Amino acid sequence: MQSEASTCRMSGAGAGEPLPGAITLEDLQSMSEAPDEEQEPPQGCDSTHRGGGGSVEDAAGEEQERLLSYWQSVGRGHQVDVPRDMAEPIQQLTRNNHPQRRERIPFTVINRKEKGVILNAESSSIQLGEVLYEKRHYEKAKWACVKVQEDQYEQSICLGFMKIMRYICEQNSSGLYLGMTIPIVTIVHTSETTTDITRFVTVAYYLPGELQEQPPEPDDPDIIIEEWPPAIIYARGFRGVTNEDSIAREISLLTELLEHPELCLQDTFIVAGYTNPAAANRQNEIWFFERP
């Protein structure tokens, strides 16, 4: 039997190079939303206007097959096999994951550093400059985490996020759809002397507020519910794709911007993803942990 890990096949690349056509966390996150105008699903993917005398069950089954077929086609374009057992999670997230239903992880802004204040002489208005980074406080909270180490960084992201998708979509002790929270975060690691990113990552999902006290247990033994302690985070936003090159670049940039980077962990960082990756200008953040 083909293992789940082998369903995330990637093409090879040199160390530190983005894989050509590789699927990333953002690509997999796009399964959680109906495709946009630039990425149309197969005809008939929406069953709400179904005609004829077919049953609701038949319509739901056909919708699931069409969605799975569509995303398998997308996956093949990235040289990744999307396994059949992803059909139900894909359908669940497509139906339920709308922007207005996403719960944001709560935090308190301690302060922010801005590039400067811009005076617009023509309109006599004052505009705040670019936010270079924010210093935030996050309370302790419970997260569903899966640790993955595959041959390629993108491969680890692929496997980890599909496991989290299954947990959100009823494969838990409650048997219920848990709801989407943002951002989905990925903990990445480097050595203390280089920005080379290791293939060992942790993909983590913040449990919605109503589930924080008693999180449903995952069916998948690889997913662990962890309580993260309170933390001081330095966060900087950036746009575009996330891969090894872009992550290393953002780590280097935030290190240069911080007044005292030595106060932060030097080998552990978070990449936080907020936006539907089908968008032309994706919203991400790089997070640094202040040392306890």
Is residue 122 situated within a structural domain?
Answer: no
Is residue 245 situated within a structural domain?
Answer: yes
Q: What is the CATH number of the domain that holds 36?
A: 3.20.80.10
Domain count, the chain: 1
* CB neighbour burial string for 64-83, b if at least 16 within 10 angstroms, e if fewer: bebbbebbbebbeebebbbe
- Phi and psi of 80, rounded to 5°? -130, 135
CA distance 274 to 278: 12
* Containing structural domain, residue 9: 5-100+137-290
CA distance 257 to 249: 13
Is residue 158 situated within a structural domain?
Answer: yes
Residue 195: the pLDDT is 65
Is residue 23 situated within a structural domain?
Answer: yes
Tens place of pLDDT for every residue, the chain, 292 residues? 444 444 444 333 333 333 333 444 455 555 444 444 334 444 333 434 444 555 667 777 888 888 888 777 766 655 567 778 888 877 777 777 666 678 999 999 999 998 875 555 555 454 566 889 999 999 999 999 999 987 766 677 777 888 998 999 889 999 999 998 999 999 999 876 666 888 889 999 999 999 999 999 999 999 999 999 999 999 999 988 777 888 999 999 999 999 999 999 999 999 998 875 445 567 899 999 999 8
Is residue 93 situated within a structural domain?
Answer: yes
Total-model pTM: 0.74
Length of the chain: 292
